[in-house]
């Protein structure tokens, strides 16, 4: 008697899973051309998360989430860490994205319901639902970092253009 084959297990980050498969646009331009260097983006995230933690006892930054999607031939483990969550009867998942080119980022998101930032936030919402059996509210916090680092005299980094884009459940 043949031994059943073990299923393959694939682990993938939510960010990678949320990338759409459809190919569109030209090779010359990208809606991501105004993204920030990773260390600058992380610094902006930390500033915002610290401020939100001070403003609200219900805010919790950097929540790790994962789920296992089982298939016939393989299983997929989705793992990720959402930027923050406001806990309450209906939790609010808060994803932070920063850019030097906020106008083009807002336009790209408005024109593409499958924009990777929107998909990533929705996947976090789905994983949260699977784990807690509560449909969370979702928001994408867009931060325009233009001019944010002109002065560091008092350790304060003013950030302009906080935009909240509610996403449908």
pTM, two decimal places? 0.76
pLDDT digit string (tens) for 16-38? Answer: 998 877 555 544 344 444 555 66
Tokens of 144: 């325009």
Q: How far is CA 16 from the centre of its chain?
A: 11
pLDDT digit string (tens) for 76-127? Answer: 999 999 999 999 999 999 888 887 777 788 888 888 888 888 889 889 999 9
With a CB cutoff of 8 Å and minimum separation 6, the contacts of 16 are none
């Amino acid at each position: 008697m043949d031994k059943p084959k073990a299923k393959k297990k694939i682990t993938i980050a939510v960010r990678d899973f949320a990338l759409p498969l459809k190919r569109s646009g030209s090779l010359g331009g990208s809606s991501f051309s105004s993204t920030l260097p990773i260390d600058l983006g992380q610094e902006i995230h930390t500033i915002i998360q610290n401020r939100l933690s001070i403003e609200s006892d219900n805010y919790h930054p950097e929540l790790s989430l994962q789920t296992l999607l089982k298939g016939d031939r393989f299983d997929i483990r989705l793992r990720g860490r959402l930027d923050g969550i406001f806990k309450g009867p209906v939790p609010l998942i808060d994803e932070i994205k920063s850019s030097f080119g906020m106008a083009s980022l807002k336009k790209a998101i408005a024109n593409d319901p499958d924009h990777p930032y929107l998909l990533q936030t929705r996947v976090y919402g789905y994983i949260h639902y699977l784990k807690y059996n509560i449909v969370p509210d979702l928001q994408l916090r867009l931060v325009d970092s233009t001019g944010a680092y002109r002065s560091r005299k008092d350790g304060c980094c003013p950030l302009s253009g906080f935009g909240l884009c509610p996403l449908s459940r």
